[in-house]
Amino acid sequence: MGKGSIYIVGYMGAGKSSGGRRLARTLNVPFVDTDEALMASSGMEVSEIFNAHGELGFRKMEQQVLRELSALDDIRVVATGGGTPCFEDNMDYMLSHGTVVYFKVAPAALVPRLMAKRKNRPLIEQVSEDALPGFIEQHMAEREVHYGQAHITVDADALDGARLDLVSQMIAQHRASNL
């Protein structure tokens, strides 16, 4: 299949974890979520890490997990946190160590996905319901410069089996052309 892992990037709520799990099954490779790996290694929830270390401390810990996962020899699908590609050289690192797939979702589609889960999302838990759509739109626009560097961009508004099969084909084509 090629060298390096497959990194899934995109905004929070874009389906990186659920779609990444399904993609890993389709590709018959292991799956890992950087948030889950970070929680396992730290013994803390993401919100606890944010509270104890701030966003910068969280991003540094997240970067360390990303590097550790990338150092492993086997290919895997890695669902990253929404801010992972935006911190320091993480996006360049992922681009040079594997295949980066951007799960792109329209801001309007993210609002209902994130509304009920605000308490589990440190960056939006204090954002009011009325302000959330504008916050998401502005925050996504700021991050687009990073997400847009991905090797492959996928409309992830509805990741069904057919679309995941297409993503698998796109990944295989990209990896074959970069051997």
Distance between CA 22 and CA 77 in Å, rounded?
Answer: 10
67 Cβ contact list (under 8 Å, min separation 6): 93
Total domains, the chain: 1
Residue whose entry in the numeric block shows the structure tokens 């889950």: 36
The residue ranges of the chain whose pLDDT is under 70 are: 1-2, 179
Q: For position 31, which CATH number holds?
A: 3.40.50.300
d(CA 114, CA 120): 9
Determine the pLDDT at residue 2.
52
Helix (H, G, I), strand (E, B) or coil at 43: coil
Q: What is the pLDDT of residues 44-59, one digit of tens each?
A: 999 899 899 999 999 9
Cβ–Cβ under 8 Å, residues 10 and 105 = yes
* Cβ atoms of 111 and 117 closer than 8 Å: no
> Which pLDDT value is given to residue 1?
45
**The pLDDT value given to residue 159:** 82
The parent domain of residue 70 ranges over 5-177
User: Residue 179: its pLDDT value, please?
Assistant: 65
Q: CA 146, CA 94: separation in Å to the nearest integer?
A: 11
- Residue 100's CB: how many other CB atoms inside 10 A? 26
Alpha-helical runs (H) found in 72-160: 90-97, 107-115, 132-147
What tokens does 111 get?
Answer: 């609002």
Strands 77-79 and 31-33, how do they pair? parallel
